[in-house]
Amino acid sequence: MTKADLINAVYENLDGSLSKKDTANLVQSVMETITGAIKDDGRFSYPGFGTWKTHQRNERTGRNPQTGATITIPAKTIVKFKAATALNDLVN
């Protein structure tokens, strides 16, 4: 599903009570709010759907695939998603 598909699906679920532009703004606002919560609090949880949490990945050694040279891959923060049991039951 693409962003446009998501906006269309939300628009249809709202039975046209909002314009497409307002629906797009609503979807964008929700995504920005979720992103902000993950950035500020390190996690976002939506019951019945899942939880996003930040995780610190340690520095590690890797290889440049073109040259075979050893390189150091720096530590960084990543986001992990764990699906809720209800979501897992729906897709299985």
1 in any annotated domain: yes
Residue 33 falls inside a structural domain: yes
Residue 32 and residue 5 in one domain: yes
pLDDT, tens only, 15-55? 989 999 999 999 999 999 999 999 999 999 999 999 999 99
- Residue 87 inside a domain? The answer is yes
Q: Which domain holds residue 25?
A: 1-41
What was the pLDDT predicted at 10?
A: 96
pLDDT of residue 92: 87
How far is residue 33's CA from residue 43's CA, in Å, rounded to a whole number?
12
User: In the chain, how many domains are there?
Assistant: 2
Identify whether residues 37 and 62 lie together within a single domain.
Answer: no
**pTM of the predicted protein model:** 0.78
Residue 46 lies in a domain: no
pLDDT given for residue 76 in this prediction? 97
Task: Provide the percentage of residues in the chain whose pLDDT is more than 70.
Answer: 100
Closest of 29, 50, 43 to residue 77, by C-alpha: 43
Q: 74 in a domain, yes or no?
A: yes
